[in-house]
Amino acid sequence: MKLRRIIQVAVFILVLSISIGHTFEEAGNPIPFLSTASVHAVCPFGGVVSIYEFFISGSYVKKIHESSFILMFIVFFLAIIMGPVFCGWICPFGTFQEWISKIGRRIFKKRFNTFIPYKIDKYLRFIRYFVLVMVIVKTAQTAELMFADIDPYYALFNIWSDEVAITAYIALFIVTVLSLFVERPFCKYACPYGALLGITNTFKFFKIERRESTCINCKLCDKKCPMNIPLSNIKRSMNHQCITCLECTSEAACPKENTLVLAFKKVVLKSRSVGIIALAAFIVGIGGTMILNLWQTETSKVPAKYTTKELADQYNPADIRGSYSLQDIENAFGVPVEDLAKAFNIITDNPGSFLIKGLEDLYSVSEEYEVGTDSVRFFVALYKDLPYTPESTTRLLNPAKSILKDKISDDLLVSVAVILDQEPVSHEEVEEVFLIKGKTTFREVNEEGVTVEQIKTIVGSVPENMNLSIRDYANENNIEFETIKTELQALIDK
C-alpha cells in the first residue's frame, strides 16, 4: 500500500504549505509560489455546510468559497464509485491520526485499538451522525462555520494562529491522546464529513468482498482494519465506517490471493487503480474548473450595496472587511490609494497591498477608542458623502481630517473625532449610557430591556443565534445597520 502512503504524505504537505502560505499572506508577507488560500477554502466539507445558504441566497457560508463546492463534488463522485476514498487516502487529519497511532501500536502492541468492546463501540460510532446533523442545522441557521470552534483539523493546520478557539485546541489534544489508544478516533466517533461519506458505502459500486471459497478464516482482515470492521464473517461489506483504505485486502493483509478484494461484479480494483482514479479526479476536477475560471479560493472583494432606492447603485462602506486591501477599496469606492495611505500614515513601497486589518496592530491606542477597520469605513463614507454611523470608539488620524476638509462641511469636520485632537470619552461616561455598536449582539440589546417581540418588529424575525452581532445580521440579510441601530437605540433610551 505504498501508493496510499505517498498520497497521504503529499496531501498533508500540500495542505500544510497552503496554511503557511495563507498565514504569511495575512501578515502582509506572501511567499512566492505558495497558495494564499485558507484551510477552509480547500476543505470539501465546507461545500456541504454551505448547500442551504447557497440555494436560499446564492452565496456561501463565511470563509467558504467556490473551491469548497468543487472539492465536495469531486469527493462525492469518488464516494459513489469506491466509497470514502477521501477519508482513507486523502484527508490529512486522518493521516495525522494514523501517524500518532503508530506510536500507540508500539506501546500497547496487540492491545492497541481493542480497548473498547465491540458491543459498545458499534453504537458509539453513531455519535458522528449527531454531530453531522448539529453542524448542518446550526450552520444553516447562522450562515457561519459553527464547527470551526471545535474543529481539531483546523487547529492542527493553524496551530500557530491566534484565530483558533481554545476549544479547538482542546479537541485536537483529546484526539491526539486518544489516537495512542484507538485508530482514527475522530474518524470513528466525531467526524461529520466521515459520517456523510460513510452512507455511500451502502450503495457505492465497488465494495469490499470476501470470497468464501478461498477464505481460510484467519481473521487477519479483522485485525488489520483500522476501523475495527468484522470482515471475516461477511460476504460483502457495506459498513458505514469503511474508509476504502484497502489495508484488509489480499494486497495487504489477507494471505490468500483474490480472496478479499474491492470489486464490482467481476471487475476488481487494485490499490494502484484506486490511487490513480482518485488523483485523476482531483487533477481533472480542479484543473478543469481553473481553466473555466470557476476555481476560487478567496472571496471577491466586492462589498454589498445599499438597499434603499436612493443609494441602490452605491456600495455600502459598512461592508468593508479587514481583509480588504487599500487597492480593493479604491476599486470599489474610487477613493485613491494615495489618499487612503496618507489618511492612515501607511508608509510602504506598495500601499495598495496593505490590508486594513493591519491598522489594529499599527494603532493599538486604547481599549476605549481605536483606529481600525471601522475607521476606514467611516473615512470612506465621509470621503464619498455616504451615510454611515461609526462606532463610538472609532477615531481617525489628523492626516485623514486634513484630507476631508475639502470633502465635507466645516460643521461636520469639527465633529469628527481624531487622535490627538480630541480626548476619548471616559470609561465612566460610556458606562452610564448603553450605546449600540456594530459588535453589539441581540442578546445584549435584549438584556437592556428590548423584548424579543420588539426586536422581531424591527428586524423582521428573531435571530436563531441571539449572540450574533447586529452588524453581521444586517449585512447577511441586506438590511441597513444604521436603521436597525437607530430604532433599537430609541427603545433602549426610553
φ/ψ of 64, rounded to 5, equals -110, 145
pLDDT tier at 301, thresholds 50, 70, 90: low
pTM of the model: 0.69
C-alpha cell at 488: 433599537
- The SS3 of residue 159 is coil
Of how many residues is the chain composed? Answer: 494
Mean pLDDT, all residues of the chain: 86
User: 227 is written with which cell numbers?
Assistant: 476501523
Segment 84-105 mean pLDDT: 97
Mean pLDDT of 268-283: 96
466 DSSP 8-state letter: T
427 pLDDT above the threshold of 60:
no
Cβ 467 vs Cβ 447: under 8 Å: no
The total of other beta-carbon atoms located within 10 Å of residue 283's CB is: 11
Position 167 pLDDT exceeds 80: yes
User: How many CB atoms within 10 Å of residue 204?
Assistant: 22
Higher pLDDT, 197 or 310: 197
pLDDT value at position 111?
Answer: 93
Cite the DSSP H helix spans in 292-372.
326-333, 337-343, 359-362
Angle subtended at Cα 356 by Cα 352 and Cα 362, rounded to the nearest 5 degrees: 110
Q: pLDDT value at position 197?
A: 97
**pLDDT for 272 beyond 70:** yes
In 3D space, the residue among 222, 154, 152, 223 whose CA is nearest the CA of residue 187 turns out to be 152
Neighbour-count burial of 246, counting CB atoms closer than 10 A to its CB (0-12 exposed, 13-18 middle, 19+ buried)? buried
Lowest mean pLDDT among 172-181, 302-311, 416-425: 416-425
**What are the pLDDT digits (tens) for 121-134?**
989 999 999 999 99
Neighbours of 341 (CB within 10 A): 17
Task: Tell me the CA distances in angstroms from 102 to 4, 71, 188, 265, 435, one per residue in order.
Answer: 16, 29, 17, 35, 56
Per-residue pLDDT, averaged over 203-210, amounts to 96
For residue 469, the cross-strand partners are 441
Return the ∠ at Cα 27 (arms to 30 and 331), rounded to 5°: 75
* CA torsion through residues 259, 262, 263, 268, sign: negative
Share of the chain above pLDDT 70, in %: 91
Residue-wise pLDDT for 30-71, tens only, equals 787 788 788 888 999 988 877 876 776 566 666 677 899 999
Q: Under DSSP, is residue 383 helix (H, G, I), strand (E, B) or coil?
A: helix
Task: Return the pLDDT at 333.
Answer: 93
Cell of 323: 481583509
Strand order in the sheet with 267-269: 236-237, 207-210, 260-264, 267-269
Give 333's Cβ-side CA count (13 Å radius).
Answer: 32
pLDDT category of residue 421 using cuts at 50, 70 and 90: very low
Nearest to 194, CA basis, from 127, 266, 272, 116: 127
